Amino acid sequence: MSNLLLLLAALFLLSWQPTLAAPLSTNSRWIVDESGRRVKLACVNWVTHLEVMVAEGLSKQPLDVISKSIASMGFNCVRFTWPLFLVTDGNLSSLTVRQSFFSLGLNESLSAVEVNNPTLVDLPLLEAYKAVVRNLGDNNIMVILDNHISKPGWCCSNSDGNGFFGDKYFDPDLWVDGLTKMASLFNDTANVIGMSLRNELRGPKQNVNDWYKYMQRGAEAVHAANPNVLVILSGLSFDNDLSFLSNKQVQLSFPSKLVFELHWYAFSNGNAWQSGSPNQVCGSISSSVMRRAGFLVSQGWPLFISEFGIDQRGTNTNDNRYFGCFLGLAAELDVDWALWTLQGSYYLREGVVGMEEFYGSLSYDWSRQRNSSFLQRISTLQSPFQGPGLSAIKPYKVLFHPATGLCVAKKSLSEPLHLGQCDESEAWDYTGQHTLLLKGTTVCLKAAGEGEKVKFGTICSDAASNWELISDSTMHLSTKLTANSSSSLCLDVGSDGRTIVTSTCLCLDRDQTCDPENQWFRIIDSSRPVTSKRSLIDWLFGNLWWNLL
């Protein structure tokens, strides 16, 4: 009997997961929990702001299955959209799920919701929204309530009447009322940790003065109704521009709750990625992102990239070229983020019934992942590299490879350097002399020749151990075999897709058809606990270990 009890207790402990340490607050640029530890938001967007006003996908899978698939893809959070009129227009909020589908003629979806989610189908829309939030909470997933638009429908254009304060569907007073209602509705819901006050401000009426006036008002209203939530503010020009904050900060009556959000897609810059040289475009757009929003991090404000994403079929060159550059910067800044998007399909979008979403992480029928290699690529960004509470003995560097989402690692002394999980990465130092040392040793990385595996050595002052960050993207690690050599070699991944080699540097001449991505590395600060055994041994034995070899 007592053995059985012990077994049950053990099973209970194994299945126990810490409840969300809400409410969250901010400490300089970091979002932290009640004990002061960093919580990195690794969210996915989930849409409820279209005409139906029901979370997408409930016709495809049971709610709990969807929530569990979100967790299994490594996301800890959902940016859950809602249209303002859902809470401010009695004609809409009084509708049940059934009535909403029915009024749009979506009979097939309705029948499928009845099959997959029978307990939701006769709930009022707002109760169905709450049920989704609650179920996400049951699965330990945090939620950010995102006021995406006023009038339910696909977002966003400059002329849709939902763009800025004073537009046809965007009355500031009604907006503040709606935010207040929504904030108080969830004031006892622990997994609701933030509110995005308004998505993608834009259009002919947008201006900085009204931005301060109304965003501050909205923030105060939300905080008064629900002091637990983070208050998340979007910039101008479709949330591409927060540059005005460099001169003047937001003034709020309460501290440690303010977060800024940025959107960054390939198409934010039209067709620039496809029509330019990737090194050059990456360099210039990264600088522009830093000027428009990235600077906030160094000023001590959390930055949440609340929309980014690509066509996950991998067929869009503009998207593909952008994505390596995006991942490099997102890893270096170690920002919070929300991928666009979860839904594999829509009930009804822009007049099309059952439209597929190729940016969606789930397949059309919501039964599986659309592209597991895409998810693998973003997975290393799902946990923090830096921030309060991370426990590495000393901060170190990792060499991050955005094309794969992996890092330069080494399993054993006899094995060549290869790509591996960033959690098992080598810990590096990058010195002022451009030497890449194994942390805590005098052993450095050295080039051996064109197409050759890189090697280690202890003579670290020669040309072959001098690694400079070159090209417009500053993502090529370049070296020379000898000081007199006229040609450079760049760190690269060999033809096995795994082994780290050096080869001729690619695309430095701004060729628009050349793809340098395999040679892109970012040297990133990390304080992740060092998990690999060898790294621990390195640390314990330091130079001795290597000098014995």
Binding site for ligand NAG (CB under 6 A): 89, 91, 105, 107, 184-185, 187-188, 313-314, 371, 373-374
Give residue 345's Cα distance to chain centre. 21
Give the residue with the Cβ less far from ligand NAG, 245 or 348.
348
Radius of gyration of the chain measured on its C-alpha atoms? 25
* Least Cβ distance, residue 164 to ligand NAG (angstroms): 21
Residue with nearest beta carbon to ligand NAG: 314
Give the residue with the Cβ less far from ligand NAG, 161 or 314.
314
Whether 359 and 46 have beta carbons less than 8 Å apart is answered as no
CA 340, 236, 161 angle in degrees (round to 5)?
A: 85
- Cα separation of 378 and 42, whole Å? 10
User: 42-56 burial string, b = 16+ CB within 10 Å, else e?
Assistant: bbbbbbbbbbbbbbb
Give the residue with the Cβ less far from ligand NAG, 69 or 76.
69
- Can you say whether residue 366 is alpha, beta or left, with left for phi > 0 and alpha for psi between -120 and 50 degrees? left
Give the amino acid at 20.
Answer: L
Give the residue with the Cβ less far from ligand NAG, 105 or 451.
105
**Torsion sign (Cα): 525, 530, 534, 539:** positive
* Least Cβ distance, residue 107 to ligand NAG (angstroms): 4
* Least Cβ distance, residue 253 to ligand NAG (angstroms): 17
Give the three-state DSSP class for 330: helix
Give the residue with the Cβ less far from ligand NAG, 25 or 386.
25
* Least Cβ distance, residue 294 to ligand NAG (angstroms): 25
Give the residue with the Cβ less far from ligand NAG, 325 or 481.
325
* Least Cβ distance, residue 150 to ligand NAG (angstroms): 12
Whether 305 and 335 have beta carbons less than 8 Å apart is answered as yes
Give the residue with the Cβ less far from ligand NAG, 67 or 312.
312
Whether 83 and 53 have beta carbons less than 8 Å apart is answered as yes
371, with CB counted inside 10 A (0-12, 13-18, 19+), is middle
* Least Cβ distance, residue 351 to ligand NAG (angstroms): 14
Give the residue with the Cβ less far from ligand NAG, 84 or 201.
84
* Least Cβ distance, residue 90 to ligand NAG (angstroms): 7
* Least Cβ distance, residue 378 to ligand NAG (angstroms): 11
Helix-, strand-, coil-residue percentages of the chain, each rounded to 5: 35, 20, 45
User: 273-300 burial string, b = 16+ CB within 10 Å, else e?
Assistant: bbebbbbbbbbebbebbeebbbbbbeee
